[in-house]
Amino acid sequence: MEALREAWRLFQEGEYFEAHEVLEEAWRQAEGEERRFLQGLILLAAALHQAKSGRKGLRNLRKAEGKLLGLPSPYLGLDWQPLLEEARRRLGA
């Protein structure tokens, strides 16, 4: 999935808002577990963007955890667990 690869690159560059935007169209078209995974990444991107902007993102982090936990990591080739740990660290969760 091209959107996932592009979003991962943006995550790695700290461009969380942009990663969110890239994933949104893919999320709208996805179904089932893949849709849940993409929604979790979108929420994680929002939480990281808020943390980067000096705002609290704990609510989005908790929502992301609800979507992602229970899925394997890696999922669809993306090792998302370290990204979740980074968000937890940044938000003091």
CA atoms within 13 A on the CB side of 12: 8
Question: Are 90 and 51 within 8 A, CB to CB?
Answer: yes
In CATH terms, the superfamily for domain 2-91 is TTHA0068-like (1.10.3450.10)
Per the listing, tokens 């963007």 go with 49
Summarize pLDDT for 3-45 with one digit per residue, the tens. Answer: 999 999 999 999 999 999 999 999 999 999 999 999 999 999 9
Give the model's pLDDT for residue 27.
Answer: 96
Summarize pLDDT for 42-71 with one digit per residue, the tens. Answer: 999 999 999 887 778 899 999 999 999 999
